[in-house]
Structure 1
Amino acid sequence: MILNNQNELVLKAKAVLESLESGNPKAITNYIHPDQYVQHNLALSNGRAAMLGALDHLKEIGTKVSIKRILADGDYVALHSEYDFFGPKIGFDIFRFENGLIVEHWDNLQDRVEKTPSHHTMIDGPVMIKDIDKTDANKVVVKSYVENILLGKNPDLLTSYFAGDQYIQHSPHIADGLSGLGAALQGLKAKNIEFQYTQVHQVIGQGDFVLTASEGLFDGEPTAFYDLFRVEDGKIAEHWDVIEAILPVEKRKNSNSRF
Protein backbone atom coordinates (compact mmCIF):
# COMPACT_ATOMS: atom_id res chain seq x y z
CA MET A 1 0.00 0.00 0.00
CA ILE A 2 2.79 2.42 0.89
CA LEU A 3 4.64 1.61 -2.33
CA ASN A 4 1.50 2.15 -4.43
CA ASN A 5 0.89 5.49 -2.71
CA GLN A 6 4.48 6.58 -3.35
CA ASN A 7 4.18 5.64 -7.02
CA GLU A 8 1.06 7.80 -7.25
CA LEU A 9 2.84 10.79 -5.68
CA VAL A 10 5.80 10.33 -8.03
CA LEU A 11 3.53 10.39 -11.08
CA LYS A 12 1.80 13.54 -9.84
CA ALA A 13 5.07 15.37 -9.12
CA LYS A 14 6.46 14.33 -12.50
CA ALA A 15 3.34 15.56 -14.29
CA VAL A 16 3.48 18.95 -12.55
CA LEU A 17 7.12 19.47 -13.50
CA GLU A 18 6.57 18.40 -17.10
CA SER A 19 3.69 20.87 -17.40
CA LEU A 20 6.27 23.68 -17.26
CA GLU A 21 7.36 22.51 -20.72
CA SER A 22 3.98 21.56 -22.18
CA GLY A 23 2.05 24.56 -20.90
CA ASN A 24 -0.88 22.28 -20.08
CA PRO A 25 -2.41 23.43 -16.75
CA LYS A 26 -4.19 20.12 -16.05
CA ALA A 27 -1.56 18.63 -13.70
CA ILE A 28 -1.18 21.86 -11.72
CA THR A 29 -4.95 22.21 -11.38
CA ASN A 30 -5.45 18.55 -10.43
CA TYR A 31 -2.47 17.92 -8.16
CA ILE A 32 -1.61 21.21 -6.43
CA HIS A 33 -3.80 22.31 -3.54
CA PRO A 34 -5.87 25.36 -4.61
CA ASP A 35 -5.59 27.19 -1.26
CA GLN A 36 -2.65 25.73 0.68
CA TYR A 37 0.33 25.77 -1.69
CA VAL A 38 3.43 27.18 0.02
CA GLN A 39 6.09 28.33 -2.44
CA HIS A 40 9.71 28.47 -1.23
CA ASN A 41 11.12 29.64 -4.56
CA LEU A 42 11.53 33.28 -3.58
CA ALA A 43 11.32 34.47 -7.20
CA LEU A 44 7.69 33.31 -7.42
CA SER A 45 4.58 34.56 -5.67
CA ASN A 46 2.97 32.27 -3.13
CA GLY A 47 0.10 30.00 -4.14
CA ARG A 48 -0.99 27.87 -7.08
CA ALA A 49 -2.15 30.81 -9.20
CA ALA A 50 1.43 31.99 -9.73
CA MET A 51 2.39 28.70 -11.35
CA LEU A 52 -0.69 28.67 -13.55
CA GLY A 53 -0.02 32.25 -14.55
CA ALA A 54 3.55 31.48 -15.62
CA LEU A 55 2.72 28.58 -17.98
CA ASP A 56 2.13 30.59 -21.15
CA HIS A 57 5.36 32.53 -20.74
CA LEU A 58 7.37 29.39 -19.97
CA LYS A 59 6.07 27.70 -23.11
CA GLU A 60 6.67 30.84 -25.16
CA ILE A 61 10.37 30.97 -24.24
CA GLY A 62 10.78 27.27 -25.08
CA THR A 63 11.24 25.83 -21.59
CA LYS A 64 12.41 22.20 -21.59
CA VAL A 65 12.40 19.78 -18.66
CA SER A 66 14.14 16.40 -18.66
CA ILE A 67 13.75 14.52 -15.36
CA LYS A 68 16.65 12.17 -14.61
CA ARG A 69 16.05 10.94 -11.05
CA ILE A 70 13.07 10.79 -8.70
CA LEU A 71 13.13 9.92 -4.98
CA ALA A 72 10.02 9.26 -2.91
CA ASP A 73 10.27 9.47 0.87
CA GLY A 74 7.00 9.48 2.80
CA ASP A 75 5.05 12.59 1.78
CA TYR A 76 8.04 14.03 -0.10
CA VAL A 77 9.06 13.60 -3.74
CA ALA A 78 12.38 14.99 -4.97
CA LEU A 79 13.29 15.31 -8.65
CA HIS A 80 16.71 15.86 -10.24
CA SER A 81 16.30 17.42 -13.67
CA GLU A 82 17.95 19.08 -16.62
CA TYR A 83 16.27 22.32 -17.70
CA ASP A 84 16.46 24.64 -20.66
CA PHE A 85 15.18 27.84 -19.09
CA PHE A 86 17.03 31.01 -20.10
CA GLY A 87 19.89 28.67 -20.95
CA PRO A 88 20.80 25.12 -19.85
CA LYS A 89 20.47 24.48 -16.12
CA ILE A 90 20.43 21.65 -13.59
CA GLY A 91 17.81 21.68 -10.85
CA PHE A 92 16.33 19.91 -7.87
CA ASP A 93 12.65 20.19 -6.98
CA ILE A 94 11.04 18.94 -3.76
CA PHE A 95 7.28 18.60 -3.37
CA ARG A 96 5.43 17.83 -0.14
CA PHE A 97 2.03 16.17 -0.32
CA GLU A 98 -0.94 16.13 2.03
CA ASN A 99 -3.88 13.84 1.28
CA GLY A 100 -2.64 13.33 -2.26
CA LEU A 101 -2.22 17.02 -3.13
CA ILE A 102 0.96 19.09 -3.32
CA VAL A 103 1.00 21.69 -0.54
CA GLU A 104 4.64 22.83 -0.54
CA HIS A 105 7.55 23.25 -2.97
CA TRP A 106 11.28 23.94 -2.69
CA ASP A 107 13.87 24.06 -5.48
CA ASN A 108 17.44 24.91 -6.40
CA LEU A 109 18.71 25.82 -9.88
CA GLN A 110 22.21 26.33 -11.31
CA ASP A 111 23.64 27.02 -14.76
CA ARG A 112 24.94 23.84 -16.35
CA VAL A 113 28.72 23.70 -16.66
CA GLU A 114 29.88 21.82 -19.75
CA LYS A 115 33.53 21.05 -18.92
CA THR A 116 34.19 19.67 -15.46
CA PRO A 117 37.46 18.53 -13.82
CA SER A 118 36.00 15.03 -13.37
CA HIS A 119 34.91 14.77 -17.03
CA HIS A 120 31.44 13.75 -15.83
CA THR A 121 28.44 15.95 -16.46
CA MET A 122 26.42 17.55 -13.68
CA ILE A 123 23.58 15.05 -14.22
CA ASP A 124 24.89 11.79 -15.71
CA GLY A 125 25.47 8.55 -13.80
CA PRO A 126 23.17 5.88 -12.33
CA VAL A 127 19.44 6.54 -12.16
CA MET A 128 18.07 3.20 -10.97
CA ILE A 129 17.32 3.11 -7.24
CA LYS A 130 18.71 0.09 -5.41
CA ASP A 131 18.92 -1.14 -1.80
CA ILE A 132 15.46 0.04 -0.73
CA ASP A 133 15.91 -1.88 2.52
CA LYS A 134 18.93 0.31 3.35
CA THR A 135 17.12 3.65 2.98
CA ASP A 136 17.12 4.57 6.67
CA ALA A 137 20.73 3.49 7.21
CA ASN A 138 21.90 5.45 4.14
CA LYS A 139 20.07 8.57 5.34
CA VAL A 140 21.92 8.27 8.65
CA VAL A 141 25.28 8.01 6.84
CA VAL A 142 24.62 11.06 4.67
CA LYS A 143 23.22 13.23 7.46
CA SER A 144 26.23 12.34 9.60
CA TYR A 145 28.59 13.27 6.75
CA VAL A 146 26.92 16.62 6.14
CA GLU A 147 26.91 17.50 9.84
CA ASN A 148 30.40 16.27 10.70
CA ILE A 149 32.24 17.29 7.53
CA LEU A 150 30.32 20.02 5.71
CA LEU A 151 29.09 21.73 8.87
CA GLY A 152 32.47 21.05 10.47
CA LYS A 153 31.38 19.30 13.68
CA ASN A 154 34.03 16.58 13.38
CA PRO A 155 36.18 16.99 10.24
CA ASP A 156 38.63 14.31 11.39
CA LEU A 157 36.03 11.71 10.36
CA LEU A 158 36.30 12.63 6.66
CA THR A 159 38.01 9.49 5.38
CA SER A 160 35.62 7.20 7.27
CA TYR A 161 32.77 8.09 4.89
CA PHE A 162 34.58 6.92 1.74
CA ALA A 163 36.07 3.71 0.36
CA GLY A 164 39.59 5.05 -0.11
CA ASP A 165 39.78 7.46 -3.04
CA GLN A 166 36.88 5.81 -4.91
CA TYR A 167 34.44 8.70 -5.19
CA ILE A 168 32.63 9.81 -8.36
CA GLN A 169 32.13 13.55 -8.48
CA HIS A 170 29.57 15.47 -10.59
CA SER A 171 30.04 18.85 -8.91
CA PRO A 172 31.12 21.16 -11.75
CA HIS A 173 34.37 22.39 -10.21
CA ILE A 174 35.67 19.31 -8.37
CA ALA A 175 37.66 16.33 -9.68
CA ASP A 176 36.90 12.70 -8.84
CA GLY A 177 38.06 11.11 -5.61
CA LEU A 178 38.49 12.26 -2.07
CA SER A 179 41.73 13.82 -3.27
CA GLY A 180 39.77 15.93 -5.77
CA LEU A 181 37.49 17.17 -3.00
CA GLY A 182 40.48 18.10 -0.85
CA ALA A 183 42.16 19.93 -3.73
CA ALA A 184 39.00 21.95 -4.46
CA LEU A 185 38.62 22.99 -0.84
CA GLN A 186 42.27 24.02 -0.68
CA GLY A 187 41.78 26.03 -3.88
CA LEU A 188 38.88 27.95 -2.36
CA LYS A 189 40.91 28.62 0.76
CA ALA A 190 43.82 29.93 -1.30
CA LYS A 191 41.48 32.36 -3.05
CA ASN A 192 39.95 33.44 0.29
CA ILE A 193 36.52 32.26 -0.88
CA GLU A 194 34.34 31.48 2.11
CA PHE A 195 32.54 28.13 1.80
CA GLN A 196 30.50 27.21 4.84
CA TYR A 197 27.46 25.08 5.58
CA THR A 198 25.52 26.30 8.62
CA GLN A 199 22.41 24.11 8.79
CA VAL A 200 20.96 21.03 7.10
CA HIS A 201 17.20 21.44 6.67
CA GLN A 202 16.03 18.35 4.80
CA VAL A 203 17.23 14.78 4.30
CA ILE A 204 15.22 12.88 1.69
CA GLY A 205 16.20 9.36 0.72
CA GLN A 206 15.15 6.28 -1.17
CA GLY A 207 17.40 3.26 -1.39
CA ASP A 208 20.97 4.19 -2.25
CA PHE A 209 20.15 7.85 -3.06
CA VAL A 210 19.93 10.57 -0.41
CA LEU A 211 19.30 14.29 -1.04
CA THR A 212 20.10 16.99 1.51
CA ALA A 213 19.00 20.63 1.41
CA SER A 214 21.25 22.91 3.44
CA GLU A 215 22.01 26.58 3.88
CA GLY A 216 25.25 28.39 4.33
CA LEU A 217 27.60 30.91 2.79
CA PHE A 218 29.54 30.89 -0.47
CA ASP A 219 31.90 33.77 -1.17
CA GLY A 220 30.07 35.83 1.44
CA GLU A 221 26.58 35.29 -0.03
CA PRO A 222 23.77 33.40 1.73
CA THR A 223 23.45 30.22 -0.32
CA ALA A 224 21.26 27.13 -0.68
CA PHE A 225 23.18 23.86 -1.12
CA TYR A 226 21.38 20.81 -2.52
CA ASP A 227 23.55 17.67 -2.44
CA LEU A 228 22.58 14.27 -3.82
CA PHE A 229 24.63 11.29 -2.65
CA ARG A 230 24.70 7.68 -3.77
CA VAL A 231 25.68 5.32 -0.96
CA GLU A 232 27.23 1.94 -1.63
CA ASP A 233 27.99 -0.58 1.13
CA GLY A 234 27.71 2.14 3.78
CA LYS A 235 30.15 4.50 2.03
CA ILE A 236 29.53 7.59 -0.10
CA ALA A 237 30.25 6.55 -3.68
CA GLU A 238 28.92 9.40 -5.83
CA HIS A 239 27.82 13.02 -5.51
CA TRP A 240 25.81 15.59 -7.48
CA ASP A 241 24.99 19.12 -6.36
CA VAL A 242 23.24 22.36 -7.23
CA ILE A 243 24.25 25.60 -5.53
CA GLU A 244 22.14 28.75 -5.72
CA ALA A 245 22.47 32.13 -4.04
CA ILE A 246 19.49 33.10 -1.87
CA LEU A 247 17.64 36.17 -3.12
CA PRO A 248 17.98 39.25 -0.93
CA VAL A 249 14.81 40.35 0.84
CA GLU A 250 14.12 43.29 -1.46
CA LYS A 251 13.93 41.00 -4.53
CA ARG A 252 11.66 38.33 -3.05
CA LYS A 253 8.12 37.79 -4.30
CA ASN A 254 6.93 35.89 -1.24
CA SER A 255 7.65 36.04 2.48
CA ASN A 256 8.24 32.31 3.03
CA SER A 257 11.51 30.85 4.23
CA ARG A 258 13.92 29.61 1.53
CA PHE A 259 13.93 26.30 3.41
Structure 2
Amino acid sequence: MKAKIAAVLVAGSLAACSNLHSEETMTLSHKEKAVALLNAIETGDSKAISYVNPTNYTQHNLEVGDGLAAFGEVLQALPKGSAKVNVVRAFQDGDYTFTHTEYNFFGHKAGFDVFRFEEGKIVEHWDNLQEVAPANPSGRTQFDGATELTDLDKTDENKAIVTDFVNSILIKGELNKLTNFISPAEGGYIQHNPSVADDLSGLGAALGALAEQGMPTIYTANHKILGEGNFVLAISEGEFLKKHVAFYDLFRLENGMIVEHWDTIEAIPTKSEWKNNNGKFNF
Protein backbone atom coordinates (compact mmCIF):
# COMPACT_ATOMS: atom_id res chain seq x y z
CA MET A 1 0.00 0.00 0.00
CA LYS A 2 2.85 2.41 0.75
CA ALA A 3 4.14 1.86 -2.76
CA LYS A 4 0.66 2.61 -4.06
CA ILE A 5 0.42 6.03 -2.43
CA ALA A 6 3.98 6.85 -3.48
CA ALA A 7 3.27 5.85 -7.06
CA VAL A 8 0.20 8.06 -7.14
CA LEU A 9 2.19 11.01 -5.92
CA VAL A 10 5.11 10.54 -8.27
CA ALA A 11 2.94 9.88 -11.30
CA GLY A 12 1.15 13.17 -10.78
CA SER A 13 -2.31 11.62 -10.53
CA LEU A 14 -3.22 13.88 -7.65
CA ALA A 15 -5.73 15.94 -9.56
CA ALA A 16 -7.94 12.90 -10.05
CA CYS A 17 -7.49 11.80 -6.46
CA SER A 18 -8.39 15.24 -5.15
CA ASN A 19 -11.91 14.85 -6.53
CA LEU A 20 -12.50 11.59 -4.69
CA HIS A 21 -14.29 11.33 -1.37
CA SER A 22 -15.38 14.97 -1.63
CA GLU A 23 -18.30 14.54 0.76
CA GLU A 24 -16.11 12.99 3.44
CA THR A 25 -13.44 15.62 2.87
CA MET A 26 -15.95 18.36 3.59
CA THR A 27 -17.07 16.79 6.89
CA LEU A 28 -13.64 16.04 8.34
CA SER A 29 -11.91 18.67 10.48
CA HIS A 30 -8.49 20.00 9.52
CA LYS A 31 -7.08 18.07 12.46
CA GLU A 32 -8.59 14.79 11.24
CA LYS A 33 -7.23 15.33 7.73
CA ALA A 34 -3.73 16.03 9.04
CA VAL A 35 -3.75 12.87 11.18
CA ALA A 36 -5.06 10.81 8.26
CA LEU A 37 -2.28 12.07 5.99
CA LEU A 38 0.40 11.20 8.56
CA ASN A 39 -1.09 7.74 9.15
CA ALA A 40 -1.05 7.15 5.40
CA ILE A 41 2.76 7.09 5.53
CA GLU A 42 2.37 3.75 7.31
CA THR A 43 -0.89 2.43 5.89
CA GLY A 44 -0.61 3.67 2.30
CA ASP A 45 -4.23 4.90 2.40
CA SER A 46 -4.48 6.76 -0.92
CA LYS A 47 -7.71 8.45 0.23
CA ALA A 48 -5.60 10.82 2.35
CA ILE A 49 -4.08 12.31 -0.80
CA SER A 50 -7.41 14.01 -1.47
CA TYR A 51 -6.82 16.20 1.59
CA VAL A 52 -3.81 17.86 -0.09
CA ASN A 53 -3.93 20.54 -2.76
CA PRO A 54 -2.39 18.70 -5.73
CA THR A 55 -0.99 21.80 -7.43
CA ASN A 56 -0.08 24.00 -4.46
CA TYR A 57 1.92 22.25 -1.73
CA THR A 58 4.89 24.06 -0.17
CA GLN A 59 7.44 21.99 1.72
CA HIS A 60 9.61 23.39 4.55
CA ASN A 61 11.42 20.17 5.45
CA LEU A 62 14.76 21.13 3.91
CA GLU A 63 15.71 17.52 3.21
CA VAL A 64 12.71 17.04 0.87
CA GLY A 65 12.10 18.68 -2.48
CA ASP A 66 9.15 20.99 -2.98
CA GLY A 67 5.76 19.63 -4.03
CA LEU A 68 4.04 16.28 -3.55
CA ALA A 69 6.05 14.43 -6.18
CA ALA A 70 9.20 14.93 -4.10
CA PHE A 71 7.41 13.60 -1.01
CA GLY A 72 6.35 10.55 -3.01
CA GLU A 73 9.97 9.89 -3.91
CA VAL A 74 10.83 9.88 -0.19
CA LEU A 75 8.12 7.30 0.47
CA GLN A 76 9.44 5.11 -2.34
CA ALA A 77 12.90 5.18 -0.77
CA LEU A 78 11.63 3.70 2.51
CA PRO A 79 12.40 0.01 3.05
CA LYS A 80 9.18 -1.97 2.59
CA GLY A 81 7.13 -2.19 5.78
CA SER A 82 9.54 -0.01 7.76
CA ALA A 83 7.37 3.09 8.26
CA LYS A 84 5.51 3.37 11.57
CA VAL A 85 3.43 6.35 12.63
CA ASN A 86 1.78 6.98 16.01
CA VAL A 87 0.17 10.40 16.32
CA VAL A 88 0.15 11.00 20.08
CA ARG A 89 -1.32 14.53 20.14
CA ALA A 90 -3.13 16.60 17.52
CA PHE A 91 -4.38 20.19 17.68
CA GLN A 92 -5.95 22.84 15.49
CA ASP A 93 -5.46 26.61 15.48
CA GLY A 94 -7.43 28.34 12.72
CA ASP A 95 -5.96 27.37 9.35
CA TYR A 96 -3.10 25.48 11.06
CA THR A 97 -2.89 22.04 12.61
CA PHE A 98 0.02 20.76 14.67
CA THR A 99 0.74 17.20 15.72
CA HIS A 100 3.15 15.39 18.03
CA THR A 101 4.10 12.03 16.56
CA GLU A 102 6.30 8.99 17.18
CA TYR A 103 7.84 7.87 13.91
CA ASN A 104 9.88 5.06 12.54
CA PHE A 105 10.82 6.86 9.35
CA PHE A 106 14.45 6.31 8.40
CA GLY A 107 15.01 5.75 12.11
CA HIS A 108 13.07 6.09 15.37
CA LYS A 109 12.13 9.77 15.76
CA ALA A 110 10.01 12.19 17.70
CA GLY A 111 8.42 14.80 15.48
CA PHE A 112 6.16 17.80 15.32
CA ASP A 113 4.33 18.52 12.06
CA VAL A 114 2.52 21.73 11.18
CA PHE A 115 0.10 21.91 8.25
CA ARG A 116 -1.57 25.00 6.81
CA PHE A 117 -4.94 24.71 5.08
CA GLU A 118 -6.65 26.78 2.42
CA GLU A 119 -10.25 26.02 1.43
CA GLY A 120 -10.09 22.70 3.25
CA LYS A 121 -6.90 21.49 1.56
CA ILE A 122 -3.36 21.17 2.92
CA VAL A 123 -1.12 23.65 1.12
CA GLU A 124 1.96 23.92 3.34
CA HIS A 125 4.00 21.76 5.72
CA TRP A 126 6.67 22.32 8.36
CA ASP A 127 8.22 19.77 10.71
CA ASN A 128 10.94 19.23 13.30
CA LEU A 129 12.44 15.82 14.02
CA GLN A 130 14.76 14.42 16.66
CA GLU A 131 16.08 10.94 17.30
CA VAL A 132 14.31 9.12 20.12
CA ALA A 133 16.44 8.82 23.24
CA PRO A 134 16.11 6.77 26.45
CA ALA A 135 13.92 8.06 29.25
CA ASN A 136 15.13 11.24 30.93
CA PRO A 137 16.49 11.52 34.51
CA SER A 138 12.90 11.62 35.81
CA GLY A 139 11.97 8.48 33.88
CA ARG A 140 9.82 10.27 31.32
CA THR A 141 9.83 9.68 27.58
CA GLN A 142 9.48 12.11 24.69
CA PHE A 143 5.85 11.00 24.21
CA ASP A 144 4.19 10.11 27.50
CA GLY A 145 2.29 12.54 29.68
CA ALA A 146 -1.02 14.35 29.40
CA THR A 147 -3.03 14.24 26.18
CA GLU A 148 -6.45 15.57 27.25
CA LEU A 149 -7.47 18.80 25.55
CA THR A 150 -9.16 21.23 27.96
CA ASP A 151 -9.69 24.97 28.50
CA LEU A 152 -10.72 25.73 24.92
CA ASP A 153 -11.95 29.12 26.14
CA LYS A 154 -8.41 29.97 27.31
CA THR A 155 -6.58 29.39 24.01
CA ASP A 156 -5.72 33.03 23.40
CA GLU A 157 -4.75 33.58 27.03
CA ASN A 158 -2.44 30.56 27.03
CA LYS A 159 -0.85 31.56 23.72
CA ALA A 160 -0.12 35.00 25.18
CA ILE A 161 1.51 33.43 28.27
CA VAL A 162 3.79 31.24 26.16
CA THR A 163 4.65 34.17 23.88
CA ASP A 164 5.71 36.16 26.94
CA PHE A 165 7.67 33.18 28.31
CA VAL A 166 9.58 32.64 25.07
CA ASN A 167 10.41 36.32 24.66
CA SER A 168 11.21 37.10 28.29
CA ILE A 169 12.89 33.90 29.46
CA LEU A 170 14.21 32.04 26.43
CA ILE A 171 15.23 34.96 24.20
CA LYS A 172 15.99 37.82 26.64
CA GLY A 173 17.16 35.59 29.50
CA GLU A 174 15.18 37.42 32.18
CA LEU A 175 15.44 34.51 34.60
CA ASN A 176 14.21 36.60 37.53
CA LYS A 177 10.76 36.30 35.93
CA LEU A 178 10.86 32.51 35.63
CA THR A 179 8.53 31.83 38.55
CA ASN A 180 5.91 34.02 36.86
CA PHE A 181 5.51 31.16 34.40
CA ILE A 182 6.62 27.96 36.19
CA SER A 183 5.96 27.04 39.80
CA PRO A 184 9.09 26.55 41.93
CA ALA A 185 7.29 23.87 43.96
CA GLU A 186 8.36 20.26 43.69
CA GLY A 187 6.16 18.52 41.14
CA GLY A 188 5.20 21.81 39.53
CA TYR A 189 6.86 21.20 36.16
CA ILE A 190 6.89 17.91 34.24
CA GLN A 191 9.73 17.60 31.75
CA HIS A 192 9.95 15.32 28.69
CA ASN A 193 13.20 16.59 27.20
CA PRO A 194 15.40 13.47 27.19
CA SER A 195 18.29 15.22 29.01
CA VAL A 196 16.42 17.24 31.63
CA ALA A 197 14.80 16.26 34.94
CA ASP A 198 11.50 17.53 36.29
CA ASP A 199 10.97 20.86 38.06
CA LEU A 200 12.84 24.13 37.87
CA SER A 201 15.76 22.49 39.65
CA GLY A 202 16.18 20.01 36.80
CA LEU A 203 15.91 22.71 34.16
CA GLY A 204 18.43 24.92 35.95
CA ALA A 205 20.91 22.07 36.37
CA ALA A 206 20.76 21.12 32.70
CA LEU A 207 21.12 24.68 31.39
CA GLY A 208 23.90 25.39 33.87
CA ALA A 209 25.86 22.31 32.80
CA LEU A 210 25.71 23.33 29.13
CA ALA A 211 26.80 26.87 29.96
CA GLU A 212 29.77 25.57 31.97
CA GLN A 213 30.84 23.54 28.92
CA GLY A 214 30.77 26.69 26.80
CA MET A 215 27.69 25.52 24.91
CA PRO A 216 24.75 27.56 26.21
CA THR A 217 21.30 27.07 24.74
CA ILE A 218 20.49 30.27 22.82
CA TYR A 219 17.09 31.32 21.47
CA THR A 220 17.41 34.13 18.93
CA ALA A 221 13.91 34.44 17.45
CA ASN A 222 10.40 33.09 17.76
CA HIS A 223 8.66 32.43 14.45
CA LYS A 224 5.24 31.09 15.40
CA ILE A 225 2.96 30.42 18.36
CA LEU A 226 0.13 27.95 17.81
CA GLY A 227 -2.32 26.73 20.41
CA GLU A 228 -5.54 24.95 21.24
CA GLY A 229 -6.86 25.05 24.77
CA ASN A 230 -4.27 23.99 27.31
CA PHE A 231 -1.57 23.10 24.73
CA VAL A 232 0.66 25.67 23.00
CA LEU A 233 3.46 25.09 20.50
CA ALA A 234 6.31 27.61 20.16
CA ILE A 235 8.47 27.43 17.03
CA SER A 236 11.79 29.19 17.49
CA GLU A 237 15.31 29.51 16.11
CA GLY A 238 18.65 29.57 17.86
CA GLU A 239 21.78 27.67 18.78
CA PHE A 240 22.24 24.37 20.59
CA LEU A 241 25.57 22.59 21.06
CA LYS A 242 27.00 25.35 18.82
CA LYS A 243 24.74 24.35 15.92
CA HIS A 244 22.09 26.45 14.18
CA VAL A 245 18.80 24.79 15.16
CA ALA A 246 15.03 24.94 15.14
CA PHE A 247 13.36 24.58 18.55
CA TYR A 248 9.82 23.20 18.68
CA ASP A 249 8.54 23.46 22.27
CA LEU A 250 5.11 22.12 23.25
CA PHE A 251 3.78 23.38 26.57
CA ARG A 252 0.77 22.33 28.63
CA LEU A 253 -0.72 24.98 30.87
CA GLU A 254 -2.94 24.90 33.96
CA ASN A 255 -4.37 27.96 35.66
CA GLY A 256 -2.08 30.35 33.83
CA MET A 257 1.14 28.43 34.52
CA ILE A 258 3.30 26.14 32.39
CA VAL A 259 3.17 22.67 33.94
CA GLU A 260 4.50 20.27 31.26
CA HIS A 261 6.94 20.43 28.34
CA TRP A 262 7.90 18.35 25.29
CA ASP A 263 10.33 19.41 22.58
CA THR A 264 12.39 18.54 19.55
CA ILE A 265 15.62 20.23 18.49
CA GLU A 266 16.75 19.82 14.88
CA ALA A 267 19.92 21.15 13.26
CA ILE A 268 19.30 23.37 10.22
CA PRO A 269 21.55 22.38 7.29
CA THR A 270 23.61 24.95 5.42
CA LYS A 271 21.74 26.47 2.50
CA SER A 272 23.87 24.64 -0.06
CA GLU A 273 22.34 21.37 1.24
CA TRP A 274 18.69 22.46 1.02
CA LYS A 275 16.46 20.52 -1.35
CA ASN A 276 13.93 23.34 -1.54
CA ASN A 277 14.20 27.12 -1.19
CA ASN A 278 11.28 27.65 1.18
CA GLY A 279 13.27 27.98 4.41
CA LYS A 280 12.78 26.21 7.72
CA PHE A 281 10.34 28.81 9.03
CA ASN A 282 8.72 31.45 6.75
CA PHE A 283 5.28 31.33 8.29
Q: TM-score range by the shorter chain?
A: over 0.9
Contact 1:211 1:227 (8 Å CA) reproduced: yes
Instruction: Kindly name which structure, 1 or 2, has the bigger radius of gyration based on alpha carbons.
Output: 2
Q: Give yes or no for the alignment of 1:8 onto 2:42.
A: no
Aligned counterparts of 2:218 and 2:28: Cα–Cα separation in 1: 36
Deviation at residue 153 of structure 1 after TM alignment: 5.5
Deviation at residue 14 of structure 1 after TM alignment: 0.8
1:24-103 paired onto structure 2 within 5 Å? 24-28=45-49, 30-58=50-78, 60=80, 62-103=82-123
- Counterpart of 1:17? 38
Q: Percent identity?
A: 47
Q: Deviations over 1:199-229 (max 9, x none)?
A: 1111110010000110111122110000000
Further displaced range: 14-23 or 67-76: 14-23
Deviation at residue 6 of structure 1 after TM alignment: 9.7
Q: Give yes or no for the alignment of 1:124 onto 2:181.
A: no
1:240-251 paired onto structure 2 within 5 Å? 240-251=262-273
| Counterpart among 237, 240, 244 of residue 259 in structure 2 | 237
What is the identity, as a one-letter code, of the residue corresponding to 2:264? V
Aligned counterparts of 1:41 and 1:27: Cα–Cα separation in 2: 20
Q: Provide closer, same or farther for how the CA distance between residues 214 and 132 of structure 1 changes in structure 2, counting only shifts above 3 A.
A: same
TM-score w.r.t. the length of structure 2 is 0.86
Deviation at residue 15 of structure 1 after TM alignment: 1.0
1:104-183 paired onto structure 2 within 5 Å? 104-152=124-172, 154-165=174-185, 166-183=188-205
Give the secondary-structure state (helix, strand or coil) at the position aligned to 2:30: helix
What is the identity, as a one-letter code, of the residue corresponding to 2:270? P
Q: Show structure 1 runs of 5+ residues with no match.
A: none
Aligned counterparts of 2:175 and 2:55: Cα–Cα separation in 1: 45
RMSD between superposed Cα atoms in Å: 1.5
What is the identity, as a one-letter code, of the residue corresponding to 1:18? N
Further displaced range: 9-18 or 150-159: 150-159
Deviation at residue 121 of structure 1 after TM alignment: 0.6
Q: Show structure 2 runs of 5+ residues with no match.
A: 1-25
What is the identity, as a one-letter code, of the residue corresponding to 1:83? Y
Give the secondary-structure state (helix, strand or coil) at the position aligned to 1:138: helix
